[in-house]
Structure 1
């Protein structure tokens, strides 16, 4: 296959079109050296092709590649490939761009002796343990490949980028979601007067539930579940799990006061079930 060069981004990266007029970005060591727009380039010289589904995302990728070192982009591409293998969710295609931009900036800051503290680090460790482990693995790979020693705070920032791609939302909303989950957990532990095992499966399920609920809430997608419409079932849960239902209402009050959002009755019941689970898990552990 032969591509036509639309723009030479640098010696290693080209913006090209194929025979069908489809625009894409291709990379390869020295592929752009001595070339200019309008010239053909053989696909044999191409190491990788990037064709984003969204043209705005494609343009952002091209803009980024004009600004960051090629080695930073190549390493991030490897990291994103590994992340995608480990994440069971479909990740937003923009992850490569946002993560490459962040990693390159973090490396430059480190070289200048400037490091940022991550105010959400402890919450990230607790509520996104898998993503945080991936963030630490990324930091280790950066150290091995580029001899740049980034901090655990950066591992946390990388984890948030992964979460952001999972939830398919903005970084601002991802930060709010993290604070939301942390606030709800504080309400729960205050209500029961104890700290739960944050490593337990039941707690993990609660944290994941709160995380995706917060996503729906902040994106105004909260919906009623038809399977929960039975009034008798609602009354049964509310009466048989009264203590946990009252805790769910405390969470609802926190959400209303702090985030100006209302929980549906369905959401209260789902929370009640999760709260019962973490308490059962805690009781079984202490026996």
Structure 2
């Protein structure tokens, strides 16, 4: 249940240099600890923070990076959340069974431990982002996770482009939306194209905040990760993690090219007031939206 009308929350934007999970977990834990010591009660980590972004190629050996839930990662982050007395949103490569894997966000709540998870629903398949090879689409639906600081609408990366996902989370009572992310540029793209891509990415998520009158928290990774495929340009992750208020206003934004923590204080009373003066849910024409569940209107 919500215990305070004001909530300090933060995120960690990091670069990843290798596949040593223990090193990467510890590096994340150090920054989460910094935020907790500054008063954060809720912290978000970026997508697949345990390792390099392995989806740049299709390689069956990469499945060795996956692990069960519960497992070593959940033990580590549950202990961290309990020790720091915070709510922690993480992102893991889940091994559900041999041959069945998910891109899964996991939420830990203080001493309660693991209180919920979300399996990424929308799975991309593009050059450098061969995620359909690795991840089975999620089967847990768009259900917010109840925590001691509120109901968290947790989605993952490619989900952030879909208004339907944000709307369904909001309709189920999410107080905030969270997007652990790993997105970057192809170095062959022009500066103009890179700017268009970044602007579109930020705009769509700010739109989710506006359309649903709730804050949005986005943690992206930063740094360059070379492709294991000879001749491929690799990915320059564009960082620029950000936090918005319920009208899409930018409350904090990280740099593109360095590791950085963000922290803001969210006023949940203000979210309530925004919902009262912009009653989108009151005016939705649910009687006229019957075709929204179709692939296309022919």
Q: Same fold (TM over 0.5)?
A: no
- When normalised by structure 2's length, the TM-score is 0.23
Structure with the bigger percentage of helix: 1
Greater relative CO, 1 or 2 (CA 8 Å, sep 6+): 2
Which structure has the larger Rg? 1
TM-score (normalised: structure 1): 0.23
Answer 1 or 2: which has greater strand percent.
2
